[in-house]
Structure 1
Amino acid sequence: MIGSWGLDAALEVGIAAFCAGEEPPGDDQVWEGLTGAGVEPWLAERLLVFLPMAYVRRLLPDVSYPDAVLDSRGKVLLSREPVFVAAFERARYASRAEFERIALRSSTFAVINEALNAGSQLADLELSEPRLLKDLEPAVEGDGGMPSPRAVFEGFLREHGISLDDGTKVDASLVVHPAPAGMVMAQVDFAVSHPALAKPWLVESFAGHGTTWREAIGRAVNMFSLGALHPIIDGLLLPGAASGQVERERYEHPDGVFELVLGAQINLFAETVPPVAPLLDRLLEALRAEKLGRKVHGLRLFAAHHDGELLNNEVLLDSEPWSGGEAVVADSPAPLPEGRVAVRVFGLLVPVEV
Structure 2
Amino acid sequence: MIESMGFDAAVEAGIAAFCAGEEPPRDEEVWERLTGAGVEPWLAERLLIFLPMAYTRRLLPEVSFPDGLLTPGGRVTLSAEPVFVAALGRAQRAGRDEVGRIAMRSNEFNLINNALYSGSQLSDLMLSEATLVKDLEPVEQGDGGVPSPRAAFEDFLRGHGVPLDGATKISAEVFVRPAPAGVVMAQVDFAVSHPALARPWLVESFAGYGTTWREAIGGAVSKFRLGALHPIVDGLLRPGAAPGQVERERYEHPSGPFELVLGAQLNLLTDRPVPSVGPLLDRLLEVLRAEPLTRKVHGLRLLTAHHDGRLRTNEVLLDSEQWPAGEAVVADSRAPLPDGRVAVRIFGLLVPAGNA
- Give the TM-score taking structure 1 as reference length: 0.98
Distance in structure 1 (CA, Å) of the matches to 2:214 and 2:16: 16
Aligned: 1:11 with 2:7: no
Contact 1:58 1:92 in 2 (8 A): yes
Matching residue of 1:273 = 274
Deviation string, structure 1 residues 194-215 (Cα, Å, up to 9, x no partner): 0000000000000111010001
Alignment of 1:170-181 (within 5 A): 170-181=170-181
Deviation string, structure 1 residues 308-344 (Cα, Å, up to 9, x no partner): 1111100000000000000000001111112211110
Partner-residue secondary structure (3-state), 2:100: helix
Distance in structure 2 (CA, Å) of the matches to 1:35 and 1:101: 20
Matching residue of 1:52 = 52
Distance in structure 1 (CA, Å) of the matches to 2:129 and 2:256: 66
Aligned: 1:300 with 2:277: no
Contact 2:191 2:201 in 1 (8 A): yes
Contact 2:66 2:128 in 1 (8 A): yes
Contact 1:150 1:172 in 2 (8 A): yes
Deviation string, structure 1 residues 35-69 (Cα, Å, up to 9, x no partner): 00000000000000001111111211121222211
Contact 1:273 1:335 in 2 (8 A): yes
Matching residue of 2:340 = 339
Matching residue of 2:118 = 118
Against the structure 1 CA distance between its residues 100 and 4, is the aligned structure 2 distance closer, same or farther, given a 3 Å change threshold?
closer
Alignment of 1:207-226 (within 5 A): 207-226=207-226
| 4+ residue segments displaced more than 6 Å | 2-5
- Give the TM-score taking structure 2 as reference length: 0.97
Structure 1: gaps spanning 5 or more residues: none
Measured after TM superposition, the shift of residue 5 of structure 1 is 6.7
Deviation string, structure 1 residues 125-150 (Cα, Å, up to 9, x no partner): 11111111322110111100010000
Contact 1:305 1:312 in 2 (8 A): yes
Alignment of 1:121-132 (within 5 A): 121-132=121-132
Measured after TM superposition, the shift of residue 82 of structure 1 is 1.2
Distance in structure 2 (CA, Å) of the matches to 1:38 and 1:202: 31
Matching residue of 1:283 = 284
Distance in structure 2 (CA, Å) of the matches to 1:33 and 1:281: 47
Among all aligned residue pairs of Structure 1 and Structure 2, give the percentage whose two residues are the same amino acid.
Answer: 73
Matching residue of 2:155 = 155
Matching residue of 1:318 = 319
Distance in structure 1 (CA, Å) of the matches to 2:174 and 2:65: 30
Partner-residue secondary structure (3-state), 2:6: coil
Measured after TM superposition, the shift of residue 3 of structure 1 is 8.2
Distance in structure 1 (CA, Å) of the matches to 2:151 and 2:172: 8
Partner-residue secondary structure (3-state), 2:38: coil
Distance in structure 2 (CA, Å) of the matches to 1:3 and 1:192: 21
For the aligned residues, what is the CA RMSD?
A: 1.2
Distance in structure 2 (CA, Å) of the matches to 1:129 and 1:81: 15
**Between Structure 1 and Structure 2, how many residues are aligned?**
353
Letter in 1 for 2:353: V
Partner-residue secondary structure (3-state), 1:345: strand
Partner-residue secondary structure (3-state), 1:200: coil
Worse-superposed segment, 149-158 or 17-26: 17-26
Matching residue of 1:350 = 351
Distance in structure 2 (CA, Å) of the matches to 1:173 and 1:42: 23
Matching residue of 1:235 = 235
Matching residue of 2:39 = 39
Against the structure 1 CA distance between its residues 141 and 98, is the aligned structure 2 distance closer, same or farther, given a 3 Å change threshold?
same
Distance in structure 1 (CA, Å) of the matches to 2:341 and 2:91: 42
Alignment of 1:128-143 (within 5 A): 128-143=128-143
Against the structure 1 CA distance between its residues 4 and 131, is the aligned structure 2 distance closer, same or farther, given a 3 Å change threshold?
closer
